[in-house]
Amino acid sequence: MFGIDLGKYRTIVISIALFLIFDLGVLVLNFFISSEIASDAVNVNLAGRQRMLTQRTAKLTLQLENRAAAGSGQATEMKELIAAFSLFDRTLAAFEQGGETAGGDGQPIHIAAVDDPVARTVLAEARRLWDPYQASIAAVIERGRADPETASELVRQAETANLPLLKLMNDLTTRVEELAASKATTLRAVQVAGISLATANFLIILFHFIRHLRESDRELERARRETDDILRTTQDGLFLLDGEGRIGSQFSSSLTRVLGTSQLAGRSFYEIISPAVTPKTLDTTREYIDLLLRHDVKEKLVVSLNPLECVEVNLAQGPGEAEVRYLQFGFNRVFEAGQVTHLLVTANDITRNVLLERELKASEERAKGQMGLLVEILQVEPATMNQFLRSAQDGLQHINRQLREQGSAREVGKETINSIYRIAHRVKGDASALGLTGLATSLHSLEDILSGLRERPALAGEDFLPVTVRVKGLFEEIEALYQAAGRVAQIRGVVSVEAPRPQHDPGVQALPFVQRWQAFAARLATEHDRRVELGYHGIDAETLPDPLRDALNSMVNQFIRNAIVHGIEDRETRRLRGKPETGRLSVYLSSREDGGVDLSFRDDGEGISVAKVREAAVRAGRLSKEEAAAMDSRRVVGLIFEPGLSTRDSVDEDGGRGAGLDTVKALVMQLGGQIRIGSTPGEYCHFRLSLGTLAPRAKAERSVQPQEEVVA
């Protein structure tokens, strides 16, 4: 319409146009008819005046007759007669042909010729009667006065014409009134019709619009229901973010679950995520969202920079307990008229995916890490390891208790952090001392968290959630160590392995018995042109009961002798084997829970040559060649504890008589205990003794059979 696309407004525009056309039509007709009614009213008035003029003319003829008979002046009557006569004549002519006459107020007035046939018949009849009457009056008027005969003749004419003229003028008046009344009726009909049409039009518009409103309401309602269904059933947390970073009023039900709160509408997104992310990530998020809201930067470019791809959230589950969840947020632009007005954000709990991924990675790591862990564990003596693990577990439990006590507290004192820190630091120190680097690193990160907390001005119980999470992890690590250590112990039951590496401890090295061993080793080494160094690690042997201490001293001396005479190679050989020129003897003594002690003696020399022992046994006449060849390696190695057996070719003060290790065996039997041997030819030899505390008399009932193992 008019080249303008009216779209959905077409109907209303047409309706309004029709309404205006109806109104205008009614108005024009109204104007036309009412102006006709107005001129009819003038005609009624003039017709009425004609009636009056017939009477006045008749009355004046009578007065004129009286004056003429009395012979008195006729000037007044004549003047009035002229006025009445000419007014009637002019008006009659105007009715007949249209023209000018005087109005009620004496002003000239133009009227149209009467065209109604009935009225015209009346006028024709009036003309017929008026013409002779008019001629007589005109003759009298022309003469200026009337003599008695003329006056009588005039009266006679008036008597004849007056009544019919009166009746005719009366008829004219009635007829003109009828015409006006009929026009008024037409006018009313037009008005009623116009108003009816306008009303009908209005009703149509109303009906039409109500129907449309209902339809669009229904559509809106349907759309709303669909949106509601989507928001209620989707597994994604969905919401809209405005330019201020505020969450819109509509969001999916899952969002409540994902974010752990239902108080979301109108809240700042940054405020909600701030406890879960670092201040830097929060800043980056702000910048990122700003960037997305600017439409001049390409969306696919920005998407890869999402800083909230994986957010770790600690949710409080009760006093001092927390659950870790991982959330992923995705952002999409929402355009309106080509401008980015909002961001549609999806929030998902990806904990399961993250954990699965981690588990996969962890199992890979475990495959690699278990080796490392085993190596770490192997370097620690089992009793020490157990002692450490127990103490670490105690420490962690102590931390846990404190966390539980503080879990719900509104304010937490710095002393609690300090106390937790001290425990963590002690356990870390122990772990590093034992070479358990993995555990030490975990404890170090716990310390970092605690240092961070220490710097905060005020602390509430919930600030400790990350600590709780770490402690939980540490428990798991310790559990893993326990298990690994258990497995190592099983392995050790079969194979003796790498010795503990004594820690350098000047205090321990200064103990008198250690110094005696060192002096003895040094002297012996000089005599045999060797270089050795003896390191000691463990408890103070002086605190042990005398018999045990003395036995230990003898055994260590035997081991020193055995190592220097049979084990440690000359410097040239050592150099060729890639070993330090100075041989290393390591002594380690620890007490067990049951009151017994474990002694470990290791040298990094030749190790035990099974072949040489076999030869020695044959040479000493202990075995025939055949027996020796048939005997398995473990039993062959066990022969070194037999009296009178030495692998050394010549006898000297310090070896060769085969009277060293049998002494050790005797002592072990006396004390009640076990001997284990581990050795790799060319690398090391390691004796591990578990000694009881029972008095020599009581030990007779115990198994004292030494066990020998060898790593060939």
Q: Do 362 and 433 form a contact (C-beta atoms < 8 A)?
A: no
305 binds another protein (CB under 8 A): yes
Q: Given the complex with another protein, which of 164 and 330 has the nearer CB atom?
A: 330
State in angstroms the smallest separation of the CB of 681 from another protein.
Answer: 49
298 binds another protein (CB under 8 A): yes
Specify the stretch interacting with another protein by CB under 8 A; choose among 38-46, 237-245, 295-303, 443-451.
295-303
Specify the stretch interacting with another protein by CB under 8 A; choose among 301-309, 554-562, 584-592, 660-668.
301-309
245 binds another protein (CB under 8 A): no
**Which one among 100, 283, 394, 653 touches another protein, defined by CB under 8 A?**
283
302 binds another protein (CB under 8 A): yes
How many binding residues for another protein (CB under 8 A)? 14
24 binds another protein (CB under 8 A): no
Residue 130 backbone phi and psi in degrees, to 5 = -75, -35
**Which one among 1, 301, 337, 458 touches another protein, defined by CB under 8 A?**
301
20 binds another protein (CB under 8 A): no
**Which one among 63, 86, 256, 306 touches another protein, defined by CB under 8 A?**
306
**Which one among 291, 310, 344, 631 touches another protein, defined by CB under 8 A?**
291
Which 307-366 positions form the footprint of another protein (CB under 8 A)? 307
Q: How many Å from the N-terminal Cα to the C-terminal Cα in the chain?
A: 106
21 binds another protein (CB under 8 A): no
Q: Given the complex with another protein, which of 283 and 653 has the nearer CB atom?
A: 283
State in angstroms the smallest separation of the CB of 333 from another protein.
Answer: 13
- Half-sphere exposure at residue 2, Cβ-oriented, CA atoms within 13 angstroms: 5
Buried b vs exposed e over 472-492: b needs ≥16 C-beta within 10 Å?
eebeebbebbeebbeebeeeb
Estimate the share of the chain in helix, then strand, then coil, as percent rounded to the nearest 5. 65, 15, 25
**Which one among 100, 131, 147, 287 touches another protein, defined by CB under 8 A?**
287
State in angstroms the smallest separation of the CB of 328 from another protein.
Answer: 15
**Which one among 1, 142, 280, 506 touches another protein, defined by CB under 8 A?**
280
Residue corresponding to tokens 């007014």: 87
In angstroms, rounded to a whole number, what is the distance separating the alpha carbons of residues 12 and 205?
7
**Which one among 290, 357, 364, 632 touches another protein, defined by CB under 8 A?**
290
Specify the stretch interacting with another protein by CB under 8 A; choose among 304-312, 323-331, 402-410, 663-671.
304-312
Q: Do 176 and 44 form a contact (C-beta atoms < 8 A)?
A: yes
Burial degree of 107 (CB within 10 A; 0-12, 13-18, 19+): exposed
Sequence-distant (≥ 6) Cβ neighbours of residue 563 within 8 angstroms: 532, 583, 585, 601, 603, 605, 685
658 binds another protein (CB under 8 A): no
Q: Given the complex with another protein, which of 308 and 377 has the nearer CB atom?
A: 308
295 binds another protein (CB under 8 A): no
Q: H or E element: which one contains 487?
A: helix 465-494
State in angstroms the smallest separation of the CB of 284 from another protein.
Answer: 4
Q: H or E element: which one contains 341?
A: strand 339-349
Decide: helix, strand or coil at residue 588.
Answer: strand
Specify the stretch interacting with another protein by CB under 8 A; choose among 202-210, 291-299, 357-365, 441-449.
291-299
Helix ranges, 501-545 (H) = 506-509, 512-527
Q: CB atoms < 10 A from the CB of 471, how many?
A: 21
Q: Given the complex with another protein, which of 187 and 282 has the nearer CB atom?
A: 282
Q: Given the complex with another protein, which of 196 and 339 has the nearer CB atom?
A: 339
Q: Given the complex with another protein, which of 301 and 337 has the nearer CB atom?
A: 301
**Which one among 150, 284, 553, 633 touches another protein, defined by CB under 8 A?**
284
In angstroms, rounded to a whole number, what is the distance separating the alpha carbons of residues 667 and 361?
52
Sequence-distant (≥ 6) Cβ neighbours of residue 549 within 8 angstroms: 513, 541, 542
In angstroms, rounded to a whole number, what is the distance separating the alpha carbons of residues 677 and 640?
11
Q: At what angle do helices 414-433 and 382-406 cross, to 10 degrees?
A: 170
The residues that touch another protein, with contacts defined as CB under 8 A, are: 280, 283-284, 287-288, 290-291, 297-298, 301-302, 305-307
